[in-house]
Amino acid sequence: MIGGPSAENVLEGRDGGVDGYWPRVWAARGLLHVWDDVATNAIIDATTHEAWRVREMAAKVIARHHVRPAIDAVVMLLDDENARVRTAASKAFRVVAES
């Protein structure tokens, strides 16, 4: 099985699986390593996803690649209910504002 036994829950649709947040988190995580500006709108949209893990990863991608068009979305994340999202947003804001 792809991902081994620990991926079973996700691939079977549990724990944020197939139609949940995990595929979105991992898609965004891929963008940390392989960025293309065509993904700009998608990563901005990800900042409003209901799952905090997706919002956090979006902020990390924005920071890594200095996605300037995402600055307004990052500002909104500075007040996110989740501390990890706020931390990632704070870094993204500093990086993007300085670029």
Q: Which CATH number is 37's domain given?
A: 1.25.10.10
At 22 the pLDDT is 81
Look up the domain containing 83 and give its range: 9-98
Distances 30 to 25, 57, 61 between C-alpha atoms, Å: 9, 10, 9
For the entire predicted model, the pTM comes to 0.84
Buried b (16+ CB within 10 A) or exposed e, 17-55: beeebbebbeebeebeeebeeebbeebbebbebebbbbb
User: Integer distance in angstroms from the first to the last C-alpha of the chain?
Assistant: 42
Residue in the block written with tokens 């990563």: 43
Residue 99 pLDDT > 90, yes or no?
no
Domain count along the chain: 1
In the chain, % of residues over pLDDT 70: 80
Q: From CA 90, how far away is CA 86, in angstroms rounded?
A: 6
